[in-house]
Amino acid sequence: MTRGVAILGSTGSIGTTALRVLARQRERFRISALTAHSNAALLEEQVAQFHPAYVGLVRPNGGAGAWRTGPECLVEAASRKDVDVVLNAVVGAAGLDATLAALERGKRVALANKETLVMGGELVSQASARGGGEIVPVDSEHSAILQCIGSRPRSEVRRLVITASGGPFRDWPREKLETATLADALRHPTWRMGRKITVDSATLANKALEVIEAHYLFGISYDRIDVVVHPQSVVHSFVEFVDGSVIAQMGMPSMELPVLYALTHPERVHDAGVPPYDPVEMSPLTFERVRWDDFPALRLGIKAGRAGGALPAVFNAANEEAVAQFLDGRITFGGIARAIEGAMRSLTNRSADSLEALRAADCAARTYVKEMVAC
Ligand code: NDP
Ligand code: MG
């Protein structure tokens, strides 16, 4: 029997990668639902190829035919009876309700949309405990950690070491970083991704989101999660065990394998589409310390994670808004971290025990950044 998959954000970088992967796995999976935000033309092509029972477009510009429209389509797609696995590949906080809805209904969420775990980690954990759903990470670092830990208990894990490519500015001097252009920031050395995560990789805010994501996914305290720069993006992360043994997961920098593994875990299947690994071809593999003082967004995000409450949601929303402003040319590259820091300093940290509290924190952080930019 095939398993039904809903892809939320099917027109994006992860969404299109997933469809490429799933086109080779038709005996295991069928596409039950697809949603996009505004790219109706690409969505239409995908519908013609995969014939999903449900199609949602958040913001139609022109006719959407029989498709469902509006932001509710994400939750509708994630809640359907014919959907077993929800691949959440939406970018940003907009994906939260769908993750919660799928977990409440006992489904697997293959999670690329890390922002929603950062924003609502506690609520997401509660939703899966209540509904019996599970999260399997799509992020390559977390997929690596999952594979390295295997079935060993968390008490045997001493430390997680998350690798970071270092982004396009890894070896730029600090003075040059302030005025790095959008074109510079979008020139990622190893990964081709959507614009928001590409900028997050340049500021290292992406690594902060990933540290918080790892904390929630694996139940490991922040003291036991480290980050190391690894420019080749071949070692996807390390797990150090209490006896000192260190296990790494490696592979070519391609999202096809982590996307497929999130769907099939713990099974491994043929035809992942991954080019064969040649250690000589990929050598040398190098590792460097993080330049913490030059990439302040990383420290800020980890500080927010450690503080808990609504501060991770403030960090995430301030970052989303600041990146949007940078993409629109209204602030400099250095202004992104300053906006995040301002929002985290100015807004009181409250508890995050309800969706309303999270939304309020999210909204206050976005307003803070918009007003800061307008001044
Ligand atoms: P893209 O920008 O390429 O794609 C985003 C997708 O989400 C598109 O389908 C877009 O629709 C849709 N979307 C955008 N805004 C909304 C909204 N408000 N409501 C509903 N749908 C929306 O992003 P990526 O694929 O690069 O990233 C997606 C997620 O995966 C992010 O959280 C990112 O951090 C994470 N991730 C990505 C990796 C990668 O390699 N790309 C690696 C690891 C994690 P439309 O195109 O129609 O506008
Ligand atoms: Mg990653």
Which residue ranges make up each domain of the chain?
Answer: 3-137, 139-166+204-290
- The atom number, within ligand 1, closest to the CA of 206 reads 34
Q: Give nearest CA residue, ligand 1 atom 43.
A: 139
Q: What is residue 164's three-state secondary structure?
A: strand
| Structure confidence at residue 183 (pLDDT) | 96
- Please provide residue 213's backbone torsions phi and psi, each rounded to the nearest 5 degrees: -60, -45
Query: Best mutation site among 7, 10, 14 for ligand 1, i.e. most ligand atoms within 8 A of its Cβ?
Result: 14
What pLDDT is recorded for position 268?
94
What are the tokens at 244? 């000192």
Q: pLDDT value at position 180?
A: 95
pLDDT digits (tens, 9 = 90+) for 267-292: 999 877 778 889 999 999 999 999 99
Give the end-to-end CA distance of the chain in Å, rounded to a whole number: 58
Q: Which residues contact 246 (CB under 8 A, 6 or more apart)?
A: 161, 238, 239, 240
Given pLDDT bands bounded at 50, 70 and 90, which one contains residue 339? very high
Q: What is the mean pLDDT of residues 91-107?
A: 97
Q: Are 164 and 204 in contact (CB under 8 A)?
A: yes
CA distance 294 to 286: 20
Distance CA 124, CA 129 (A): 9
Domain boundaries 3-137, CATH class? alpha beta
321-344 mean pLDDT = 97
Q: State the ligand closest to the CA atom of 141.
A: 2
CB 300 within 8 A of CB 344: yes
Residue 345: its pLDDT value, please? 97
* Ligand 1 pocket residues where CB is under 6 Å: 9-15, 36-39, 58, 74, 89-91, 94, 112-115, 139, 191, 193-194, 196-197, 255
Kindly give the number of the ligand 1 atom that is closest to the alpha carbon of 38: 47
Task: Return the number of other C-beta atoms located less than 10 Å from residue 303's C-beta.
Answer: 16
Q: How far is the CA of 197 from the centre of ligand 2 (A)?
A: 9
The mean pLDDT value for 72-80 works out to 98
CA dihedral 101→106→107→108, nearest 10 degrees, is: 110
Q: Taking all residues of the chain, what is their mean pLDDT, rounded to a whole number? A: 95
pLDDT level of residue 211 (50, 70, 90 thresholds): very high
For residue 326, what pLDDT band results from cuts at 50, 70 and 90?
A: very high
Atom 32 (ligand 1): residue with closest C-alpha?
113
Q: What is the mean pLDDT of residues 163-178?
A: 95
Pick the residue whose CA is nearest to atom 45 on ligand 1.
Answer: 37
Record the pTM: 0.97
The pLDDT-based confidence of 64 (bands split at 50, 70, 90) is low
Quote the percentage of the chain above a pLDDT of 70.
99
Residue having the nearest C-alpha atom to atom 40 of ligand 1: 193
| pLDDT attached to residue 272 | 72
Secondary element (H or E) of residue 247? strand 246-250
Distance (Å) from CA 141 to ligand 2 centroid: 5
Q: Which residues pair with 238 in a beta bridge?
A: 161, 248
For a mutational test of ligand 1's pocket, the pick from 193, 204, 211, 213, i.e. the residue with the most ligand atoms closer than 8 A to its C-beta, is 193
Ligand 1 atom closest to the Cα of residue 57 is 47
